[in-house]
Amino acid sequence: MGPMDDLITEFIAETRDMLDALGGEIIAWEAAPADRSRLDEIFRFVHTVKGNCGFFDLPRIRGLSHAAENVLTDLRSGKRAADPALVSAVLAIIDRIGELVQELESGETLASGDDEQLIAALDQEAGETKGETAATTSMPSIRSNLRSIRLPVDLLDRVMSGVSDLVLARNELARCLRESGYGAGVEAAFDRVSATIGEIRDAITHTRMQRIDNLFATLPRLARDVADELGKKIALEIEGGDVELDREMIEMIRDPLTHIIRNAIDHGIEDEAVRREAGKPATGNIRIAASQAGNQILIEIADDGRGIDGDKLVARAMASGLLSQNQADRLSAAQRTALIFEPGLSTAGQVTAISGRGVGMDVVRANVERIGGLIDIDNRPGLGLRLTLRVPLTLTIIPALTVQLNGQSYAVPRSTIEEIVRVKGGAVAIESLGGSSIATIRGRRLPLVSLGAALGVTHQEATEDQCLIVLRPAGTGIYALAVDKVSDHEELVVKPAAPAVMATGLYGGTTLADDGRPILLLDPPGIAATAGIALEAGTFDTSFASTATAAPEADAKPALLFMSLCGVKRIVPLSAVERIEDVPSEAVQISAGRLHIALGDSILRLQGCGAEAAGRAIRILRLSDGINQVAYGIGDVVDIVPLGTDILPAATEGEVRGVTLIGGEQVEVLDLFHLFEGSATSEPEGARRICAIPAEDHWMETILGPVIESAGYRIVRAGDPGAEMADIHLVNSDEISVKPCIKSGRVVKICSDPEKTAGDAIHRYDRSALLDALADTASGRKSRA
């Protein structure tokens, strides 16, 4: 869907919402045509519709709304009096607009084109044509082909569990068919059933997934309101909005997250004077970042405020009788900080309207734990606080590796796996050191954990199939896990296990294998902790953690080995790979002369494949240079291996930089510079000109926004950080009372009434004048001022 389609959809949805809301007003106005407030409501509707459709090619809606607006303006100014005939004529127009919007949505064409007649009815004096106008008032008969509907999550759950049952039943049927033997016809039919079930399962899983953007979108407003109320300045940074998570889970973390942000602004960020004294910037910074780590979603909320005062907490805990002096003395710094989660302890000097409402961090933690999540706390007194919510991805499908131990299957999240090596393959040496084991894999020494020992299950030593799985759980160190056998890669639907099972700290959840047996999903960090391996804990600065765990092999970096679409093995440094994705066929298109794919709301240049890839489903690597992303089409992922510096340069410049040896085979190394060269789709933020728009103007943001952005501007809302320094300020001249805070740049007034464009105001639908104004500023001239 192109941006224009998005806009149309937005327009349709908005208009329909307004029509729904207007339903009651229309009836009330019909009963009392002189009622001014009803009249205003209806005027606002046609006015907005007229404004919104000015940007689309919708002459009929525009004509109708324009005519109705004129009449209503007369009514409002008292030039005309409302009589039943006129009311009916206006209502007929509103109904027609409803029908046209409906038609726009369903793609059908409305045969009757008697708009002129409806418009003419408006101008007829009272009493002239009684019968006719009444006849034109018809409600839209069929509401068909709606593009979106609301469903209770409950219903989706039922469908989901029905589909899961279906998958299991299919598997059982497959076994029966295999055992009893069947003809080719049955086989083909069964395969079709099987494939269809697979598709349904995929689709239903996706219906439950939502981008976390939906939750994050409300946060800037919340932060602004809270900060305004407290007279503080806050800059809110949000990252990782495209992480997907279960819809229900998003609802469940909404309250805790909101509360944490309120707390951060209220209790964390100091007053401006205090901040200046402490040598901090006057504007407090709050950073919210979402990321996926295995079967968990991490949501980090970091502020640069005062942190938690452990001493104060201890004093309060003692005052409330929660702690004795003796106990207090023995608390570690982390335990002192963790007192914040005890009921009834708040460090705020005074109870405020924002967060002192009796809802404390204890409730936040309880809410997060109820959904199988955890809160990590990283306190830097005086420097800031970082809270990390770890919530499970319930009902989401995660790729996993199933392994065997003592005849039982367990699943390991694939995202934590770095490599798999066979013990008998000769590449591994296992040594015992003071009761613990160390595995040496290609010169790299790793702590070795026997899964059998970690789970307390006795099992025989070194079988023929025994494998080591090298695990690198997010934010921690690396270790090798010994299992009896590696069975399969599977996509598993993971659900949280019962609290007593989760409390062992070894498992991330439960899932069902294809044969219907329950499988436990192992939690790699938990297993390491149980086995007593000290993994480097996550630190305040995550970049530090990654340098601390750098591979010991000099200059070798982990790299992804894959089969290219032309059937050659190629390799790319893992650090450049954001993720691997399967892209549906409709997202791959030749547009603007080259291959592009649409992912979420961004468009990436697609490389690594020829024009024949257009319109085909494809697997891609999302590569990132930190600012820009490109997509690279691949066949299959082969492995993750260390990539040394021993690379023979390629003969010609291209997407391959050279060739290297991996496991005795020649492998082509991708040239990242070449891939990113010229793909800078967006200029760095700072280099783009900034256009400030009023904070609460839906029209400007939705309808005008894309026009402004395509003219090369970055949009900020008035009141947001940086808004006062914008290059151009759009203000709504209809609401002159709202004076934006402006320090530099030029002001362009936009007015909604074409009659009032006197002076420097520009009519909101005058596209060319708007673009001129934007271009003037862009080229640095100030001719219009």
Closer to another protein at the Cβ: 45 or 507?
A: 507
Please identify, among the stretches 89-97, 120-128, 507-515, 643-651, the one whose residues bind another protein according to the rule CB under 8 A. 507-515
- Minimum gap (Å) between residue 201 Cβ and another protein: 11
- Which DSSP category does 264 fall into? I
Among 443, 518, 600, 663, binds another protein (CB under 8 A): 518
Closer to another protein at the Cβ: 468 or 520?
A: 520
- Minimum gap (Å) between residue 577 Cβ and another protein: 33
User: How would you classify residue 294: left for phi > 0, otherwise alpha for psi between -120 and 50, otherwise beta?
Assistant: left
- Minimum gap (Å) between residue 163 Cβ and another protein: 8
164 binds another protein (CB under 8 A): yes
168 binds another protein (CB under 8 A): yes
State CA 44 to chain mean position distance.
34
Please identify, among the stretches 158-166, 411-419, 438-446, 660-668, the one whose residues bind another protein according to the rule CB under 8 A. 158-166
Among 504, 585, 666, 744, binds another protein (CB under 8 A): 504
Closer to another protein at the Cβ: 42 or 471?
A: 471
The mark string for 682-711 relative to another protein (x by CB under 8 A, - otherwise) is ------------------------------
Q: What gap in Å lies between CA 43 and CA 51, rounded to an integer? A: 12
Closer to another protein at the Cβ: 162 or 722?
A: 162
List alpha helices for 107-183, DSSP H: 115-123, 130-136, 153-180
| Percent helix / strand / coil, the chain, rounded to 5 | 40, 25, 35
CB 494 within 8 A of CB 511: yes
Please identify, among the stretches 48-56, 511-519, 556-564, 599-607, the one whose residues bind another protein according to the rule CB under 8 A. 511-519
171 binds another protein (CB under 8 A): no
- Minimum gap (Å) between residue 332 Cβ and another protein: 22
133 binds another protein (CB under 8 A): no
CB 549 within 8 A of CB 478: yes
- Minimum gap (Å) between residue 516 Cβ and another protein: 5
Burial of residue 188 (CB within 10 Å: 0-12, 13-18, 19+) is: exposed
Closer to another protein at the Cβ: 497 or 762?
A: 497
- Minimum gap (Å) between residue 600 Cβ and another protein: 30
Closer to another protein at the Cβ: 385 or 521?
A: 521
- CA neighbor of 417 nearest in space, from 471, 496, 484: 471
Among 152, 185, 456, 567, binds another protein (CB under 8 A): 456
Among 89, 423, 519, 630, binds another protein (CB under 8 A): 519
Closer to another protein at the Cβ: 382 or 532?
A: 532
The residues facing 479 across adjacent strands are 471
Closer to another protein at the Cβ: 457 or 741?
A: 457
- Minimum gap (Å) between residue 179 Cβ and another protein: 19
The mark string for 406-425 relative to another protein (x by CB under 8 A, - otherwise) is --x-----------------
List alpha helices for 320-423, DSSP H: 325-329, 333-338, 361-370
173 binds another protein (CB under 8 A): no
Among 236, 245, 411, 455, binds another protein (CB under 8 A): 455
- Minimum gap (Å) between residue 411 Cβ and another protein: 12
Length of the chain: 785
- Minimum gap (Å) between residue 162 Cβ and another protein: 8
The helix-helix angle for 219-230 and 247-263 (nearest 10°) equals 20
Closer to another protein at the Cβ: 425 or 456?
A: 456
Q: What gap in Å lies between CA 222 and CA 302, rounded to an integer? A: 16
Q: What gap in Å lies between CA 534 and CA 532, rounded to an integer? A: 6
Closer to another protein at the Cβ: 278 or 457?
A: 457
User: What is the amino acid identity at position 254?
Assistant: R
- CA neighbor of 771 nearest in space, from 753, 748, 739, 745: 748
661 binds another protein (CB under 8 A): no
Measure Cα distances from 536 to 102, 140, 420 in Å.
59, 65, 22
Please identify, among the stretches 56-64, 73-81, 495-503, 772-780, the one whose residues bind another protein according to the rule CB under 8 A. 495-503
366 binds another protein (CB under 8 A): no
Contacts of 5 (CB under 8 A, 6+ apart): none
Among 138, 144, 145, 161, binds another protein (CB under 8 A): 161
With helix as H, strand as E and coil as C, how does 563-617 read?
Answer: EECCCCEEEEEHHHEEEEEEECHHHEEEECCEEEEEECCEEEEEECCCHHHCCCC
Q: What gap in Å lies between CA 214 and CA 3, rounded to an integer? A: 18
Please identify, among the stretches 161-169, 423-431, 534-542, 670-678, the one whose residues bind another protein according to the rule CB under 8 A. 161-169
3-state secondary structure of 252: helix
Among 111, 184, 498, 554, binds another protein (CB under 8 A): 498
With helix as H, strand as E and coil as C, how does 656-672 read?
Answer: EEEEEEECCEEEEEECH
Closer to another protein at the Cβ: 118 or 497?
A: 497
Counting residues that bind another protein (by CB under 8 A) gives 28
- Minimum gap (Å) between residue 434 Cβ and another protein: 24
With helix as H, strand as E and coil as C, how does 24-63 read?
Answer: HHHHHHHHCCCCHHHHHHHHHHHHHHHHHHCCCCCHHHHH
207 binds another protein (CB under 8 A): no
User: What is the amino acid identity at position 631?
Assistant: A
Q: What gap in Å lies between CA 281 and CA 502, rounded to an integer? A: 43
Judged by the rule CB under 8 A, the positions of this chain that interact with another protein are 161, 164-165, 167-168, 408, 455-457, 495-501, 504, 506-507, 510-512, 516-520, 530
